[in-house]
Amino acid sequence: MHLTTLPRLAMFSTWGNTQEVGWVRHAFDQFEVPFELIYKEQVKQGNLRAKYDVILVPSQGRGGKGLVYDIEPKAKPLAYTKSEQFKFLGDYGSSEDITGGMGLQGVVELQKFVEDGGVMITLGAASAFPPDFGLTRRVQAGTTSGAFYAPGPIVEAEIMQPTHPIFYGYTDTKITVRWANGPLFTLPEEDRSKQILMRFTGGDAAVMSGLMRGAAEIRLRPAVVDVPVGKGRIVLFSTNPCYRWQNLGEFRMLFNSIMNYSALNNFKPVPPSTPAPARPSGGPSQAP
């Protein structure tokens, strides 16, 4: 048990991919979780650590490149601002030009935020961003093969560090989660026992509901990873623990990550008491 305080929380949104962000905003509004919505404009201004303790990046952008560069620049600026004709634009954010994304300048500012002690949490497709742009240098983000097909089935996952603050309130180490088509993470062997908090069981028997063609590809692949970066941390969910208003049983993982942000640096991983299951030969599931 430990004391905690409400973090100064920001939620990042691109301008061109806002649907899943909107569902997280809805959930936070329903549960009365205070946050500030930020866009590329606020990120590029910098000094983020002075304003926030936690930055949440919901699933968006369909990957790291899409999240960073967002809408392709046009011949002239594309404004999203209040006007006499559009009186309600800009109520939740405005921009003189919504194209171009945060770019590398924004990536650098987010890196500074984490290295200065901030916590960044990424969900689903957005979790490709830290590995792709070097914020989590030792974590690689891959994808499933072209033969893989999984339109949001419910699959089994195994909690590897049950005493971690993210899993407060979960009593079983085997739980069900929604497959979110997030990245397939690979970590160096020496980091796995310390940074992999949850992994997919994988295989056909672990598909609890729905369709997953090629289920062996996700066998023993990390589902949640907690990586120290400088004085701060980056928590990467390959899952999307706040998918619309559907997977309520996973919401607690996200809320725990936020509410216990200050305890993440103090967590001591528990070494596995039994050898990890043997990995199948071949295929992308071989090296988590």
Secondary structure of 81-112 as H, E, C letters: CCCCCCCCCCCCCCECCCCCCCHHHHHHHHHH
Q: What is the pLDDT of residue 279?
A: 39
Please enumerate in sequence order all residues whose Cβ is within 8 A of that of 213, keeping only pairs 6 or more positions apart, or say none.
147, 148, 149, 150
Asked if residues 99 and 78 have their Cβ atoms less than 8 Å apart, the reply is: yes
282: left (phi over 0), alpha (psi -120 to 50) or beta: left
- All domains in the chain, ordered by first residue: 9-140+150-266 (3.40.50.880)
User: Which residue's entry shows tokens 């990550």?
Assistant: 257
User: Which are the contacts of 159, defined by CB distance < 8 A and separation ≥ 6?
Assistant: 167, 170, 172, 173, 174, 175, 197, 198
Reading the block at residue 145, the tokens are 């093969």
Q: Is residue 265 within 8 Å of 200, Cβ to Cβ?
A: no
Residue 80 dihedral angles phi and psi, to the nearest 5°: -130, 85
pLDDT by residue for the chain (288 residues), tens only, comes to 677 888 999 999 999 999 999 999 999 999 999 999 999 999 999 999 999 999 999 999 989 999 999 999 999 999 999 988 888 888 889 999 999 999 999 999 999 999 999 999 999 999 999 999 999 999 999 999 999 999 999 999 999 999 999 999 999 999 999 999 999 999 999 999 999 999 999 999 999 999 999 999 999 999 999 999 999 999 999 999 999 999 999 999 999 999 999 999 999 998 766 544 443 434 444 445
For residues 114 and 54, give the distance between their C-alpha atoms in angstroms, rounded to a whole number: 9
Give the model's pLDDT for residue 271. 79
How many CA atoms lie within 13 Å of 69's alpha carbon, on the beta-carbon side?
9
Angle at 168 between CA 171 and CA 277, to 5 degrees: 55
Q: Which tokens is 54 given?
A: 């936690």
What pLDDT was estimated at residue 273?
A: 62
Let me know how long the chain is.
288
Residue type, 159: I
Residue-by-residue DSSP string for 124-149: GGGGGHHHHTTSSTT-EEE---TT-B
